[in-house]
Amino acid sequence: IEQRIAELNKLLHEYGYAYYVLDKPVVADSVYDQLLHELIALEEANPSLIFPDSPTQRVGGTVVEGFKKVTHDYPMLSLSNAFNEADLQEFDRKVRQAIGDHFSYVCELKIDGLAISLKYENGVFVQGATRGDGVVGEEITANLKTIHAIPLRLKEPITIEVRGEAYMPKKSFEKLNAQRADNGEELFANPRNAAAGSLRQLDPKIAASRQLSTFIYAIGGDGEIYGIDGHAEMLDYLEDLGFPSNKERQRCSTIEEVMAFIEHWTENRPHLAYEIDGIVIKVDRYAQQDELGYTAKSPRWAIAYKFPA
Ligand SMILES: COc1nc2nc(N)nc(N)c2nc1C
């Protein structure tokens, strides 16, 4: 029995990782479901053999009265915005004024969801929270555990805090609103509101039914302590740990290349499986980010270009 339970955990973890994190399924859904039901049955008959990071442990049982407040170890900053080419040129001018011309940008899609923080101790997911006001957020670990893209255990037993965006894929949003229309319920205005509403549910079973996902885009605190000295390298490191990160990212040497990237996604964002509300541009190397520093509420080494509403 123990052997079969261990084997099922291993298989379901592998298949779940391929499907939810890499977005590259390796088995049919029916195979996954059949193995999952076998594991549920074996765990019910042998509760002492349940692995803490078994996929069956993602949906907790208890409905909570409310969410605890948690103070972030490192404040979750916001990004200053750019709305047009002049804003981008101004940002680029200030960057060059401060650090010269030998640097590169990393451009990423700005997912239209809600910012979350995930804490891992010795590789185990121990706490998840909303951004809140940037300093204090709401503890929503149980709801975040229902997001299959969020690993319950990392590939390395390290202690790290990561930040990302929880979002509802367009398909899940359309399905959810169709159900709500059938039930005569009020519809969600957009996937961001639907994702936020789902993570504010007091019953994890409801959050689990909303099929949310996430992309991780930063860590809390200094990358240097992991021996990493740039953002692009950090994203690769986070992927190696088992986190989902958005692959539509690109290194750019000039603001003209940044604008070409923005142009490309202005045209192609309707084809994405999720909504984006802009493009985030960051100076890549940490030493140069440190030179640029921060204003009271946002980094000087990054800017968010927002698509026209
Ligand atoms: C470095 O800080 C940030 N980086 C980000 N990166 C992406 N891709 N999307 C965001 N929404 C985002 N937000 C912040 C505050």
CA of 96 to the centre of ligand 1 (A): 21
CA 67 to each of CA 116, 136, 275: distance values in angstroms, whole numbers, following the listed order: 14, 12, 27
Query: For this structure, is 69 an active site residue?
Result: no
Q: Give 259's contacts (C-beta < 8 A, 6+ positions apart).
A: 85, 88
Query: Alpha-carbon distance 68 to 268, whole Å?
Result: 40
With vertex at residue 126, the alpha carbon angle to CA 125 and CA 132, rounded to the nearest 5 degrees, is 105
Query: Alpha-carbon distance 89 to 82, whole Å?
Result: 10
Query: Alpha-carbon distance 165 to 142, whole Å?
Result: 17
Is 194 in contact with 167 (CB distance < 8 Å)? Answer: no
Nearest CA to ligand 1 atom 15: 78
Q: Which of 113-117, 218-222, 260-264 has the lowest mean pLDDT?
A: 218-222
Q: Is the ipTM of this complex over 0.95?
A: yes
- pLDDT score recorded for residue 69: 97
Residue 62 has pLDDT above 90, yes or no: no
Mutation choice for ligand 1 from 280, 288, 289, CB with most ligand atoms inside 8 A: 280
Is 57 in contact with 151 (CB distance < 8 Å)? Answer: no
Residue 19 has pLDDT above 90, yes or no: yes
Catalytic residue among 10, 110, 145, 171: 110
Query: Alpha-carbon distance 300 to 303, whole Å?
Result: 8
Nearest CA to ligand 1 atom 10: 110
- pLDDT score recorded for residue 81: 98
Dump pLDDT digits (tens) for 71-109.
999 999 999 999 999 999 999 999 999 999 999 999 999
306 belongs to an annotated ligand binding site: yes
pTM metric for this prediction: 0.95
Residue 207 has pLDDT above 90, yes or no: yes
In short, whether 165's Cβ falls inside 6 Å of ligand 1 is: yes
Mutation choice for ligand 1 from 106, 109, 110, CB with most ligand atoms inside 8 A: 110
Dump pLDDT digits (tens) for 240-271.
999 999 999 999 999 999 999 999 999 999 99
Dump pLDDT digits (tens) for 149-179.
999 999 999 999 999 999 999 999 999 999 9
* Mean pLDDT, residues 30-42: 96
